[in-house]
Structure 1
Amino acid sequence: MATINESYDTKGIAIEHSSSLDESLYPKSEKDRTVKPRDYIFMWIGDGVNLGNMTLGASVMVAGVATLNIFQTILAALIAIGIISTIFALNDRLGYKEGIPYVVQLRMSFGIKGTVISSLLRGIPAIVWYGIQSWIGGTALNEIAKIVTNGSFDNIVVCFIALQLLQIVLSLFGFHAIKWVETVASVVFMAALVYVFGILMSSHTAEITQNLVQAKGSWGLPFFGLIMVFLGNYAGIFVSAADYSRELETGVRDKKRRSLYFIPITISYGFVIIIGAMLAAATGVTNPAQALPIVIDNPYISVGVSAFIVVAVIATNMVANIVPPAYVITLLTKLKYKVSVTITGLLALVAFPWVLIQESSATGLNMFILIYSAFLGPVISILLVEYFILRKQRVDTADLYNEEGPFAGYNPAGLLAMFIGAAAAFVEVELAWIIGVVVAGTTYYLLSKYAFKNSSFKKGTIFES
């Protein structure tokens, strides 16, 4: 039996606990993994059914002009969903098998010290997204306040701060504590979206047809750029897939886990993106929390829809935007998890989301996604090459926690490949994600094979001497 200073990996090997790591970063035991497949599906539906994704759909409208038509938007979403689900199913495997979080997974490719850089590339975008989602939720909360007070109260900033403080309190309990919020939010908000879709089709057909269906659009760079934006939107989540799969109960086969991503992402992400595009085409407003009351035009229903927008925002942040950066802060500062989630919430307050989402255009949000995905594309590529090609899915978990073992220090091959991939991605920012993935993955394989011949990071790989 393990002592208070030890845990076991899946092979029954004791892992000695270091005082430099918080307990939350050690492998999850089987008894601590309580999320069932059904809850996992609702978790990802709850994450996909959010106003941030709707805003991405709305981004095809810029100042009332569509950059893509409805058919191009749908196809771009389907291609992105297929890629997202595949990468999720591949990158979740190590976290699921060994129960380790993303910041520990990074050690095998970047080293214990090198993980500082690569983990920040995941944590910072998540904090900004936390602010973006909360700003949209604050806008919805403000819509409720305006209706309830008959227009005497109208202050988005106050609502934004109030919602953020509420989320900080909820995050102290972890996303396990609000599984019911995920389930209720996903089911009810999907029902609300079906209602909105019906209104758009019955009352705004002319505007949607003129502005979106009949738009010329483009099959060139704007089309592929939108796919990259969709992928970039999820890049931060699937790169840290281990943070979620380590919570899923054991005994779920790889094939079934793939469906736990593909089904909810297709249902929620695809539908929400199309609704966002239609909503912007009908109203000319890209912030859905402001556009929805315009098309509903019923104060009582608007209050209900806005309330569920707020709930959906909370559910999304709990899943996607709080846990990963909190783990990063815990790793870097040695603070306890609850302190880290509080700091995460406070940082999101000053993320300036109002700059990225404006009433007439969400192009600032798109550019933010493309820029950070230029770095996250290389990270996910390096992790997949490492695990599936170089290590053939065999990793000594105890070594990942041994600060004097083969993963100590920096892995120059991983860091060089990441920066080379990111530099290449900036040659064409609108295609940043795919360029970064291809260049970084290829570079990492070649550097691992031909360079740094005495590197301890070759231990356990196909290039070990």
Structure 2
Amino acid sequence: MTVKMENNVTIETQIRTVSGIDESLKPKTEEARTVGPISYLFMWIGDGVNLGNMTLGASLVVAGAATLNIFQTFAAAIIAIGIISVIFALNDRLGYRTGIPYVVQLRMSFGVKGSIISSLLRGVPAIVWYGFQSWIGGTALNEIAKIITGGTFDSIVICFVALQLLQIVLSLYGFHAIKWVESLASIIIMLALVYVFGVLLTSHSAVIAERWVHAKGTWGLPFFAFIMMFLGNYAAIFLSAADYSRELKAGISDAKRGLLYFSPILIAYGLTLTIGVMLASATGISNPVKAFAIVVDNPYITVFVSAFIVLGAIAVNMVANIIPPTYVITLLTKMKYKPAVTVTGLLALCSFPWVLVQDSSAKGLGMFILIYSAFLGPIVSILLIEYYILRKQKVNVEDLYKEEGPFAGYNPSALVALLIGAGAAFIKVELAWIVGFVVAGIVYILLMKFAFKDSKFKKGTIFEGK
């Protein structure tokens, strides 16, 4: 198989001869990449407009008042989105240039066996989010069913299962399904959000102004904690950036790819977050679905808004929560792609997502994000340092696919740095992502240079022979 890089350098590999690797995990050739810039942009808009992000916005409202005012909220959002976009563009480069997925990229730093641990740390949160989004979508689907049937049908569980089965079927078609689902969903969802924004602005502006716009707020720890929640919410996604960039058509510069992340995330996340805060301020309810029912007291409009919620759940799952854990299952179990994506959907059914959508659990959702991002910050730091500093962007892709090659086993430096970084993050969980990111990066460089003198993982790095 031949994989071309964006600078027209060709990497010759013999990956087709490697046994036990499913076709979905092999490098994507230029010819196999079907996602253009516009579809890619719509994909990230579709990912950003979802009820999870609204719930995070709603978590700002505590005891009837926002912990951050409107200016502080948007300042935190812009800072976080800027950081997200930079890290996305940096971490997507290896996948974009070589076509390899995230689970294979991990082998570069953690080794073949060590990557099992780090890939599970990405896959498990994605499955939980998959179930969370599906339960939100199932709740909205149930609202539609109640209106259509005049109240004779009322079962969130049945709707949840039906929606999950639909997503499993769609996901069997991989990125081909994602491309058209996201383009359609993002347009419809944005129109629905603009309408809801207008309703809130015209009918509830006074209470929103009192509880959020003119709130005293703070520039202290809650402000930085909210930035960390932003980063934590995207930590799993930009960590597996290679899973997305390998599908993007060749010839797009690093700077343009950065804009393909910044622009849609700013638009989608900004609007969704705003509506989440406004809904919670207007109603005092953290669950966006229930808040919608109060704000939009019209059965026909409720059906429309609920349909947008269902589409939003499907859209975000198709991008962020299905493909990455599927690749993890494919790699660990040697399953083919379609059985693995089915198992992913079934696991999401068993993730108890209803616990995360209770009125009392909006802050719990934020804490869940901060906790798992304590592990994801260190991983992305290690990957970036490995690729840009230690290996100077030079990686032999063929070696990454050899079970007994130079990346066999596990890299003790990476695993120790991960544990130390995560441990440091838990000292101040509100700042978990950035603390874990910085500490793990420093520790990894020091360990690679001074510890484990005979480690084969130093080969090809600036510390080879040291």
Q: TM-score range by the shorter chain?
A: over 0.9
Secondary structure of the equivalent of 1:251? coil
> Percent identity, aligned pairs only?
71
User: Which digits, 9 at most, give the CA deviation of each residue in 1:222-269, with x for residues without a partner?
Assistant: 111111111000000000000000000111111111111111111111
Other-structure match for 2:347:
347
Q: Match for 1:330: what amino acid?
A: T
* In structure 1, C-alpha distance between the alignment counterparts of 2:64 and 2:258, rounded to whole Å: 38
CA deviation after TM superposition for structure 1 residue 8, in Å? 4.7
Q: What is aligned with 2:107?
A: 107
Aligned partner of 2:14 in structure 1 is 15
Between 1:46-55 and 1:205-214, the stretch displaced more is 205-214
Alignment size in residue pairs: 460
Query: What TM-score comes out, normalization by structure 2 length?
Result: 0.96
Equivalent-residue separation in structure 2 for 1:328 and 1:210 (angstroms): 47
- Tell me the CA shift for residue 274 of structure 1: 1.1
Unaligned runs of 5+ in 1: none
The SS at the match of 1:405 is coil
**How far apart are 1:9 and its partner, in Å?**
6.3
Contact persistence 2:13–2:397 (CA under 8 A): no
SS at match of 2:14: strand
Deviation at 1:155, TM superposition (A): 2.0
In structure 2, distance between residues paired with 1:76 and 1:409: 41
Once the two structures are superposed, the pairs formed by residues 260-279 of structure 1 within 5 Å of their partners are 260-279=260-279
In the alignment, which residue of structure 2 is the partner of 1:233? 233
- Structure-2 change in CA distance of 1:71 and 1:8 (3 Å): closer
Which residue identity lines up with residue 80 of structure 1 in the other structure?
A: A
CA contact (8 A) 1:378 1:439 kept: yes
**CA distance in 2 between partners of 1:177 and 1:142 (Å):** 25
Q: Is the 8 A contact 1:357 1:364 kept in 2?
A: no
Offset at 1:147? 1.6
List aligned pairs for 1:9-408, cutoff 5 A.
10=5, 11-16=10-15, 17-408=17-408
**How far does the alpha carbon of each residue in 1:181-207 deviate from its partner, in whole angstroms, 9 at most, with x for none?**
211211121111111111111100122
Distance 1:178 1:384, change over 3 A: closer
Amino acid at match of 2:103: V
Query: How far did 1:55 drift?
Result: 1.1
User: How far off its partner does 1:63 sit?
Assistant: 4.4
Q: What's the CA shift for 1:360?
A: 4.7
CA distance in 2: counterparts of 1:215 and 1:360, whole angstroms: 22
Residue 178 of structure 1 deviates from its aligned partner by 4.1
CA contact (8 A) 1:8 1:15 kept: no
Contact 2:96 2:246 in 1 (8 A): yes
Distance 1:395 1:70 in 2: 45
Q: 2:28, 2:100 within 8 Å by CA — same for their partners in 1? A: yes
8 Å contact kept, 2:85–2:258? yes
Between the aligned partners of 2:171 and 2:160, the Cα distance in structure 1 is 16
Could you say which residue in structure 1 is the equivalent of 2:435?
435
CA contact (8 A) 1:37 1:260 kept: yes
Asked whether the equivalents of residues 63 and 360 of structure 1 are also in contact (C-alpha less than 8 Å), the reply is no
Contact persistence 2:124–2:325 (CA under 8 A)? yes
* Whole-angstrom distance in 2 between the partners of 1:401 and 1:138: 40
CA distance in 2, matches of 1:207, 1:151: 32
How far is 1:179 from its partner? 2.0
- Contact 1:69/1:214 (<8 A) preserved: yes
State the alpha-carbon separation in 1 of the partners of residues 108 and 179 from structure 2: 32
Q: Is the 8 A contact 2:57 2:274 kept in 1?
A: yes
Per-residue deviation, 1:67: 2.2
Give the TM-score, by structure 1 length: 0.96
User: Contact between 1:411 and 1:457, CA under 8 Å: does it hold in 2?
Assistant: yes
CA RMSD of aligned residues (A): 1.3
SS where residue 114 of structure 1 aligns? Answer: helix
Q: Secondary structure at the match of 1:403?
A: coil
User: What secondary structure does 1:112 align onto?
Assistant: helix
Please state whether the residue corresponding to 1:28 is helix, strand or coil: coil
Aligned AA (1:463): F
